[in-house]
Structure 1
Amino acid sequence: MQKQKIQFEISYLKPQDLSVADTELLASAHEALNTSYSPYSNFKVGAALRLASGTIVQGSNQENASFPAGLCAERVAVFQAGVRFPGEVIETIAIAVSGGSLPATPAAPCGNCRQAILEYELRQDRPIRYLLAAGNETVVAIPSTRDLLPLGFDSSYLKQ
């Protein structure tokens, strides 16, 4: 039997440790919470991503009475960026949450979002960095989608 250990590093940052650009991006993610449509879970998620051009694109979760027909904030932002700014590189995505019983550690994207964002990361051949926040205490920084989804499904499985 062969074993392989998969590890990655995350950084826990205080708001004062963030760059001006990262502070602005997190503020945009918090602002996106205001457009969340989450009457069923009462768990609001706001996302904001920064493109290489400096453009910021927001998204928020959009629920539906027919669970799970809604969309997560992360995919709303990423898909919107893909349509409005095709081919532009996504550098960083900030995710803010509120409502429910917030954990001590901010919430990371769900599996569907990780897989969808991995596709963008692979297409641009550059990592997408994450900033995760819940409240204003600690920000978790993750260097890449591959860290969140190390065994992600990609096009290599589809080649004949």
Structure 2
Amino acid sequence: MNNAEALLAAAREAAEQAHCPYSNFHVGAAVRCSDGTVVTGCNVENASYGLTICAERVSLFNCVAQGLQPLELAVSCVDAQNNTSLSSRMPCGACRQVMQELLPNNAIVHIDGVGQRRINQLLPEGFGLN
């Protein structure tokens, strides 16, 4: 199993922990950090929908909280149907913005069932204060 496959497997496993009683859409994410550590996260829904947080942000925020430097990310929407458009597997805009902020400029994002994308492909001309 190569690094990308292992990272996607960790994301799929993380999806099993999702708290998604409203959407029943389990999502997991896994981040490989500069020291080789893999940090995972899952989506956590809330009855007040605005308080819901996506798996990608949970995993990246966990990296920051642990003092780790994220290098690449994998995301898996395990409940996405095989016959639906690829857009149901893609990270949302908020997650893309957080990825741009916390991952290196040329970071690869592995999207289960879609393939690999670089940050600038997911969020061209993204917002920044640099």
Do the structures match in fold with TM over 0.5?
A: yes
- The Cα shift of 1:98 comes to 2.2
| Superposition TM-score, scaled by structure 2 size | 0.89
2: CA distance, partners of 1:38 / 1:100:
14
Out of 59, 76, 98, the residue aligned to residue 77 of structure 1 is 59
Runs (4+) of structure 1 exceeding 4 A deviation are none
1:128 aligns with 2:103: no
Q: Which among 55, 59, 72 is matched to residue 92 of structure 1?
A: 72
C-alpha distance in 1 between matches for 2:67 and 2:5: 23
Provide the identity percentage. Answer: 35
2:12 aligned to which of 2, 21, 30: 30
State the alpha-carbon separation in 2 of the partners of residues 127 and 36 from structure 1: 29
Q: Which residues of 2 match residues 42-121 of structure 1 at below 5 A?
A: 42-86=24-68, 88=69, 90-99=70-79, 101=81, 103-105=84-86, 107-121=89-103
Contact in 2 for aligned 1:91/1:127 (Cα 8 Å): no
Gaps of 5+ in 2: none
Q: What's the Cα RMSD here? A: 1.8
How much does 1:146 deviate? 1.6
8 Å Cα contact 1:42-1:100 kept in structure 2: no
How far apart are the structure 2 equivalents of 1:146 and 1:26? 21
* TM-score, L = length of structure 1: 0.73
**For residues 45 and 75 of structure 2, what CA distance do their matches in structure 1 show?**
17
The structure whose Rg is larger is 1
**1:12 maps to what in 2?**
none
Per the alignment, residue 145 of structure 1 pairs with 119
In the alignment of these two chains, the number of paired residues is: 128
